[in-house]
Amino acid sequence: MTFRIRMLPSGKEFSAEKTETLLEAALRSGIALKYNCNNGTCGGCGGRLVAGKTHDTFHHDFVLSDTQKAQGHVLLCCTSAETDLEIEVNEIGRAEGIPQQQIATKVERLERVQEDTIILHLRTPRSQTLRFFAGQHLSLAIDGVPQRSKSLASCPCNAMHLQFHIRHVPGEPFSEYVFRQLKPSQTIMIAGPQGSFTLDESSHRPIILLAYETGFAPIKSIIEHAIALELEQPLHLYWMAHKPGDHYLKNLCRSWLDALDNFKFTALDGGSTAGESSWEASADPALGLRDMETAGTAITTGYPDLSGYDVYLTAPDSSAQEIASLLQQAGLPEEQLHLDVMKRF
């Protein structure tokens, strides 16, 4: 049995099964709520029932006073819905509100999606899932290898299974290790999250996303988060790859196209010449700039007036300012431009 839960004061909604806790249902829907222990001990997930009926799913050691109970206070990690609900909750509104975490994860799978790109799947312990906003990044540390900062490519709604896109960069120790030595079940320490390249959930403007090369990772995270939140505004994804055919998750983009009425996908390529590899394009300012100008022109041709749009883009730092200027010349206000310019991809 499924119920509709309306959160106050934001007015956001999510679905909850009768058999799951309200906290589980909210997290599965990509909603960032304040909580700590997830087992009824700390009191950190408190909410207040305004309308509807709930039942206790689990015993909790944290004691609610009689007055709190009379006022409708509940612990979301120990409570399930009996009816549709309206409930006051503590949502985390900004990336800065997420606590810093350190978690020992295990390599679940190494998925070679093309010659020079691996999708790294990590799994957290069940009792220690990662809290983050879509689009953020983490520090990854393997014993004996210099640590690297990498963007999460997965949705916060699936916080036990984390995904990262690793490009092979010859001579760079972390990527060399991932490509040549890393094995399933090995331990990787993650720390974070960091970064403010996150979805503006309060906006109802249509969204344009531009990913460059493996900068697709945080864009994918944001799209999956938008899908989990059931955002209704149009989403148009542009994915620029330096070499034709280097859109290593094109089938996933096509599946979004089939499943979502509000989604468009445009694959762009930078017209590489023979011998140029994708990682060279990411690293070479001239190639990166040329690719991003092509991408910017494609967007401004399709959308000559960007004043009513939110734009999310990943770009090599060598071309970030140029692409930002190009979009702003088409009317995009600065506060509606979300840029991820770090050299993580």
Smallest gap from residue 34 Cβ to ligand FES (A): 8
Smallest gap from residue 270 Cβ to ligand FES (A): 47
Q: Which is nearer to ligand FES, 87 or 142 (CB)?
A: 87
Q: Does 32 bind ligand FES (CB under 6 A)?
A: no
Q: Cβ neighbours of residue 122 under 8 Å, at least 6 residues apart?
A: 105, 106, 107, 108, 161, 162, 163, 164, 188, 190
Q: Which is nearer to ligand FES, 46 or 195 (CB)?
A: 46
Q: Does 26 bind ligand FES (CB under 6 A)?
A: no
Q: Which of 127, 42, 126 is nearest to 76 (CA)?
A: 42
Q: Does 24 bind ligand FES (CB under 6 A)?
A: no
Smallest gap from residue 67 Cβ to ligand FES (A): 18
The length of the chain, given as a count of residues:
345
Q: Does 193 bind ligand FES (CB under 6 A)?
A: no
Q: Please give the C-alpha separations between residue 292 and each of 145, 175, 259, 311, in angstroms, as whole numbers.
A: 32, 24, 28, 14
Q: Does 90 bind ligand FES (CB under 6 A)?
A: no
Q: Which of 161, 82, 80, 77 is nearest to 119 (CA)?
A: 161
Q: Does 41 bind ligand FES (CB under 6 A)?
A: yes
Q: Please give the C-alpha separations between residue 247 and each of 146, 209, 254, 267, 270, in angstroms, as whole numbers.
A: 28, 15, 11, 7, 12
Q: Does 325 bind ligand FES (CB under 6 A)?
A: no
Q: Does 80 bind ligand FES (CB under 6 A)?
A: no
Site string for ligand FES, 94-113 (x = CB under 6 A): --------------------
Q: Does 74 bind ligand FES (CB under 6 A)?
A: no
Q: Cβ neighbours of residue 150 under 8 Å, at least 6 residues apart?
A: 137, 138, 140, 164, 165, 166, 217, 344
- Specify which residues 256 forms β-bridges with: none
- Percent helix / strand / coil, the chain, rounded to 5: 30, 30, 40
In the set 4, 8, 15, 37, which binds ligand FES (CB under 6 A)?
Answer: 37
Q: Does 320 bind ligand FES (CB under 6 A)?
A: no
Q: Does 138 bind ligand FES (CB under 6 A)?
A: no
Smallest gap from residue 340 Cβ to ligand FES (A): 31
Instruction: Work out whether strand 46-51 and strand 73-75 pair parallel, antiparallel, or are unpaired.
Output: antiparallel
- Kindly state the tokens that stand for 149: 């900062």
Instruction: Work out whether strand 101-114 and strand 79-81 pair parallel, antiparallel, or are unpaired.
Output: unpaired
Task: For residue 300, give the H/E element and its range.
Answer: helix 285-302
In the set 29, 38, 57, 129, which binds ligand FES (CB under 6 A)?
Answer: 38
In the set 6, 15, 24, 62, which binds ligand FES (CB under 6 A)?
Answer: 62
Q: Which is nearer to ligand FES, 45 or 324 (CB)?
A: 45
Residue numbers at the binding site for ligand FES (CB under 6 A): 35-38, 40-45, 62, 75, 77
